[in-house]
Amino acid sequence: MGAKHDYPIGNPVHRAGSEIDLRNFYGFVECEVTTNKNTLPLHGHKHEGKLVFAHHENTTMWLFSEEIKYGLSIGYKYNLIQGYSFDKAPLLRDIMTDGFQLKARATRDDQPVLTKTWKILINSAYGFFGLKWQEKRGITACNNDQLDLFLSEGRVYNYNQLKDDLYLVDVERDLTDIKGKSIAIASAVTSFARMELYAVMTAIQNKGHRILYSDTDSIITDCNLRNYPDLMERFMWDGCGAELGALKNECYDKCVSKLTKEELKQQIELDGGELKFDSCQILAPKVYSLRKTLVNGKVIEIAKCKGVKSSSYDEQS
């Protein structure tokens, strides 16, 4: 999403609802939302500390203008209350394009550490703009006077003395002095990604298939996209997900290193032209498992459980 779109820049300008014409408005709007109950819920809404996707009737929320335009195209209704307009520019295009190419090169050259590094840098390129700067917990080095100040304010979780007058401190602090933060940019990135996933999910459902699970950047479905040339052309045009913005089949990435070329060919034929997991168990958001037995007898198991770091939940084979 980062390379594909323009993002908010400059100083926001307040607009009354009566001043907002969505045909030439770019920014964020406070509005009352009534959804189309014949569609999947599009907008996320904070409820009791959780982001919930549900249908609404005259529910007030702040939304990105481009997401409102998408909602109008699927039968949603909006009453605009007020908003903030921004200028826009392709702010993330170069770093996303270059980073993705370098990540692909590292993967091709079998450099897993460098691949992981580029993945983190690409994600951080937009994540930094949404950095939590108030009551942020982190590690910092400080001297004795700074440590005493942190302790007096009750913000220290733990600390270790490295040498005379030098401490490593786990502390909660405000980062208001950090330059470059922009909630507007981070919000726009996640909104564009949400709309793209929404388009994928509705297209799959329109083919008569099910969405078993979705997250911020992925879906689990019983649909083989290769059976539908129009879906392949729209969402996986390169056939493998190597190009920036294209969907990729995670099952392929997990299987390819476990199979010889001949076994891989056999597995693809056995799976009907596209590698797929044999079974999945989904318990809650970010709590699920996937399993596949390969033609050579090896077993791939993926278990995700948010917050659990035990190796027992890591990928196994």
State pLDDT tens for residues 192-220: 999 999 999 999 999 999 999 998 888 99
Percent share of the chain, pLDDT over 90: 61
Q: Looking at residues 155-161, what average pLDDT do you find?
A: 93
Residue at 258: amino acid letter? K
Write down the mean pLDDT value for the chain: 89
Tens of pLDDT, residues 249-285 = 989 888 988 999 999 999 999 998 899 999 999 998 8
Full-model pTM: 0.81
pLDDT at 315: 43
Let me know: does 31 contact 58? Beta carbons within 8 Å: no
The residue-averaged pLDDT of 50-64 equals: 93
Q: Give me the percent of the chain exceeding a pLDDT of 70.
A: 95
The mean per-residue pLDDT over the stretch 106-123 comes to 88
* pLDDT tens digits for range 17-40: 999 999 999 999 999 999 999 999
* Position 314 pLDDT exceeds 50: no
pLDDT of 12 reads 96
- Among the listed residues 70, 85, 84, 86, the one whose alpha carbon sits nearest the alpha carbon of residue 33: 70
50 or 149: which leads in pLDDT: 149
Instruction: Say if residues 15 and 83 touch (Cβ distance below 8 Å).
Output: yes
Tens of pLDDT along 222-250? Answer: 999 999 999 999 999 888 777 778 888 98
More confident residue, 122 or 9: 9
The two tokens of residue 4 are 């594909």
What pLDDT does residue 310 have?
47
Note the pLDDT of residue 74.
96
Residue-level pLDDT at 1: 61
pLDDT of residue 2: 64
Q: Which residues pair with 64 in a beta bridge?
A: 28
**Beta-carbon neighbour count of residue 315 at 10 Å?**
12
Q: Which of 156, 185, 191, 178 is nearest to 69 (CA)?
A: 191
Residue type at 98 in one-letter notation: D
Look at residue 125 and tell me whether its pLDDT is greater than 90: no
Torsion of CA 95, 98, 101, 106, to 10 degrees: -80
What is the predicted pLDDT for the residue at 313? 44
| Widest CA span in the chain | 68
* 290: Cα separation from own chain's centroid: 20
**What is the mean pLDDT of the segment spanning 42-51?**
87
pLDDT in tens, 130-144: 877 777 888 889 999
Amino acid letter, residue 200: V
